[in-house]
Structures are given as structure tokens and as C-alpha cells.
Amino acid sequence: MVNPAWKFTAAEIAEKPELFTSGHRACAGCGPAIALRLVMKATRGPTIATNATGCMEVVSTIYPYTAWKVPWIHTAFENAAANASGIEAALNAMRRKGKLQTHVDVIAFAGDGGTFDIGLQALSGAAERGHDFLYVLYDNEAYMNTGIQRSGGTPYGASTTTSPAGDLIPGKTQFKKPIADIMVAHDIPYVATASIAYWQDLLIKARKGLEAEGPAFLHVFAPCPRGWRYDTSKTVELARLAVETCTFPLWEAVDSEYILSPQSKIIALKPETKKPVREYLKMQRRFSHLFKPRYGHMIDDVQRSIDKRWNKLLKKCNILPRE
């Protein structure tokens, strides 16, 4: 069961120990580093973390140093969920043999490359088998660790090193994969989207995921100044703007029932507060080519796609009548 009553105050969070600490090598303004710090603030007791290859693995454990204050395992790009499954199964075996009395939470961390693409098979298998762990996707929308290559999580129109904007290519020509909806389709106990701009919402959802009995999936929006090419001081502002434009709406699905989160419900009840996606795109140089006459129509394509997905989400949340 998912406990709906969890709340976190700033004072409570300040008093909790840092389990993902300072001293890592993340870039200035790194969104994923903020995401990991907040998720680890939501833990409820003994915890084991497993981390797919990627930015957060590299910057947090440069030998002989580590930013982790919990048992932590580096695993390959493709098998963070399989590794978490094995850890959970081992803990269950120890418990059956009487060698372990304390409950231990398991968290798997991976970026968009290790989730949307390379790790999807292992994640789907773990969800189908029903392993009890929280999978946290920190989504910075490209393979940042290896050179800013496009992934299944890279948005339409974004310029990356493998979808460069130029005379022949207008950036990425495919839309972002709906990974959280794909996980809801697995009929697991808990799925949610979260943003580093709304720390309380993120903490509550992380705790709900930890307390769910079975697989839980948390999709955290985490801007990357290096790959998105914006000023490092604008990370949280961009994360908030993604929610305000409905580029990344906040919701959760408990036993596959969609619930719109308060930050996005405000927009649903007051549509005039929804900001145009142009405001979000213009802050990032990865989209600068879209503001030139040649590719200007793509901004309209992005807005139509956002509006369509937003209306679908509202219907899933029973905020608009189903057609």
C-alpha cells in the first residue's frame, strides 16, 4: 500500500543526515545532483543504492572518493534494474533464513540513456516479476556523460552531437518517449513524475515509492546546463518552467489510477496560467535554431504535441470528461 499522508517540512529535511554528500564532481548547476540529494533525504531507514553507468555514477565515485553514505554499487548501463532485483532477492533470502531482521530499502538510479533505451528491457522485466524496489530516473534528456548524444528521452527539435541542428537536420526529429506511461502500463503499485523545482513534492513521491509494496518508478526532471546550454544559475527556474508550460506535468499513478499533482492541478483548474512553450525553449541554446525562420514551424509542432499530451493526461486524471 502507498501511504498518502507523507509530508516533509524544511526543518525536518534540514535535520536529516546527508546521504548523498557534497564533494562530488558534478558540474555547476547540475540538476541530477539535486535530484539524488533530495531522493536520499526521503529514505526511511537502511538503504542500498545501485547506480547505472552515467553522469551520477562518474561524478560521485571517483576513486578513492565517494559522495555516498549508504552501501552503493556501480552497475552497467543496461542492468540497474536487474541488479536491484538481485539485491532485493538476496535480502529476502537472508530474511527467510533468519539472518536479517531489519527491512532494507533498495533504490536503483539511472539516467535517461540507461532507462529509456539501454536499460528498458531489465526495467520491464523487474516490473513484471514484481521486485520490491524504487527505480529513480534522473532525466537530463541526453547521454550527457559520453558527449551529449540524443536518447529516447531527448525532446523533439533538440540539437545534440548525434542530432545536430544544421542545414540538413533540424535537431532531433522524434518526440520524447512516454516512459512513465510505459511503466504505468506494467500495472505496478506506484509511478510518479517529479521535478527538482518542487522539492516537497519530490520527497513525498520518493517516500511513497519506497513504501509501495512492489516495484515503484519515479521520473525526475533534472536539467543539465552543459547539454542544454543555459546559464548554470537557471537550473531550478528551467525545471519550474517545464511544469508551468506542461512540457513536464506532475502526476502520480497509484495502482494505475492517475492523479494530477497540486502544481499541475492549478494549471488544469486555471488554464490561463499555462505558459507557452516558447518561453521554455528560448532559455536553452539547444533549441536556438528553432527561432530562425527555417525551423520556426517546429515550435508550433512542439506546442501542439504538448497540448495533446496534456489533454490526454487530464482525461486520465478525470479532470476532463472522457470522449
For residue 8, the model assigns a pLDDT of 77
Options 3.40.50.2300, 3.30.1280.10, 3.40.50.300, 3.40.50.970; CATH of 10-316? 3.40.50.970
State the pTM of this model: 0.96
* pLDDT averaged over 10-residue windows placed end to end, the chain, 323 residues: 62 87 94 97 96 96 94 96 98 97 97 97 98 98 97 98 94 98 98 97 97 97 98 98 98 98 96 97 98 95 98 93 46
For residue 322, the model assigns a pLDDT of 45
**Rounded distance, CA 50 to CA 108, Å?**
5
User: Could you give the dihedral angle defined by the CA atoms of residues 297, 316, 235 and 171, in that order, rounded to the nearest 10 degrees?
Assistant: -30
**Structural element, H or E, at residue 220:** strand 216-221
Residue 152 CB coordination number (10 Å): 18
For residue 323, the model assigns a pLDDT of 45
- Under DSSP, is residue 192 helix (H, G, I), strand (E, B) or coil? strand
Main-chain dihedrals φ then ψ at residue 60, nearest 5 degrees? -100, -10
Query: Which DSSP letter does residue 17 get?
Result: P
Residue 21 CB coordination number (10 Å): 14
Determine contact, residues 218/196, Cβ cutoff 8 Å: no
Residue in the block written with cell 497509484: 254
- Under DSSP, is residue 66 helix (H, G, I), strand (E, B) or coil? coil
